[in-house]
Amino acid sequence: MRPLSVWSKLKRNPLAVISLTVVGIYLLLAVGTELYDIYCEHNGIVPVYQQTDDLARYAPPSPAHWMGTDYQGRDVFLRAMAGSATAVKVGVIASVIAAVIGVTLGAIAGFYGGKFDDWVVWAYSTFASMPTLLFILAFALLVSRNFLSEGMVGAIRLAGTVLRAEPGMLAVYFAIGLTGWVTLCRVVRGEAMRLRSMPYVAAARVAGVSSPVIIFRHILPNVFHLVIIYFTLSFAGAIMLEVIVSYLGFGVQSAPSWGVMISDGQERLWRGIWWEIAAATGFMFMLVLALNVLGDALRDALDPRQNN
């Protein structure tokens, strides 16, 4: 389906346009925060959202601090905005990992079948039976305690340097991605099994086209709409998982994170200091809601069965 055709359908849905705008704002916040952090590191400046003020601790919302301050006098609104960078980063990295694994295994297993297909079915059935949160926490613990081989730990640290993420948090990103490929793999596998019996695939085989070329030319383009829909929805799921992991103390520690803000805020909620939790949950709720609405709209615009 052509991009213009998809956009023409999306723009007729006001909720889809609003959701796309909200997601775009969060993406701009994430990119802006990353660029600002690079600038501060290069010039030896403390980012404004990390600047402390002991005289302004637990200040309620005011014109000077729209969402108040935390236990170190840091501006809660600015920290919640900066937390968008962590959320977008985990969403992109985890969703890309899950999409690559799911599409690759699903397309090959569905097209070829045989023993490889049996192995893929066993693999995604095994991963689906694992408690997702426990797997993520265990993987993060292995990295933080250096239980992995030196080569794997070195690769994770190198990737963390490139992606500007601490090794422990990068391990969480990878763990979320490793648990998120199952659904997409199952769907792509089923679609590949259906497509391999289509007349144009049979004609390509008769013409002597190799199987890898058939997969790239005829299978993958016809499952691309599934990848787009899944990517949008898994993005939201990855963000919520990161918030939970950070809330439990296994995720982001140095960079702003909505999970850490919720964890810090709940300890002081009984004192009437509600604004830290409100800011973090509000920012998270808006992004997750927008991604889910956008995912539903993309499904309606891209799925041929919906169009029919």
pLDDT digits (tens, 9 = 90+) for 243-253: 888 888 777 66
Tokens standing for 122? 């066993």
Going from N- to C-terminal start, the domains of the chain cover 3-52+68-307
61: DSSP letter: S
pLDDT band at 153 (very low <50, low <70, confident <90, very high): low
| CATH number for the segment(s) 3-52+68-307 | 1.10.3720.10
79 phi/psi in degrees, rounded to 5: -70, -35
Task: Mean pLDDT check: name the lowest of 107-111, 134-138, 153-157, 231-235.
Answer: 153-157
Q: What is the pLDDT of residue 150?
A: 59
Q: What is the pLDDT of residue 271?
A: 84
Residue with tokens 């964890």: 263
Instruction: Supply the mean pLDDT for the chain.
Output: 85
Task: Mean pLDDT check: name the lowest of 4-13, 178-187, 272-281, 298-307.
Answer: 298-307
CA–CA distance, 159 with 167 (Å, rounded to integer):
8
> Would you tell me how many other CB atoms lie within 10 Å of the CB of residue 102?
26
AA identity, residue 94 = A
pLDDT tens-place string over residues 33-87 = 989 988 998 898 989 999 888 888 888 898 888 899 998 889 999 999 999 988 9
Q: Is 90 exceeded by the pLDDT of residue 12?
A: no
pLDDT band at 299 (very low <50, low <70, confident <90, very high): confident
10 phi/psi in degrees, rounded to 5: -65, -40
Q: Is 90 exceeded by the pLDDT of residue 286?
A: yes
47 phi/psi in degrees, rounded to 5: -55, 145
Exposure b/e, 72-95, CB count within 10 A at least 16 = b: ebbbbbbbbbbbbbbbbbbbbbbb
Q: What is the pLDDT of residue 297?
A: 87
Q: What is the pLDDT of residue 36?
A: 92
Q: How far is CA 302 from CA 8, 229, 238, 296, in A?
A: 12, 8, 23, 10
For residues 229-239, give the mean pLDDT.
89
Residue with tokens 């190198």: 158
3 compared with 188, residue with greater pLDDT: 188
Q: What is the pLDDT of residue 123?
A: 92
Give the three-class secondary structure for 69.
strand
159 compared with 263, residue with greater pLDDT: 263
Tokens standing for 278? 């409100």
Tokens standing for 61? 């919302």
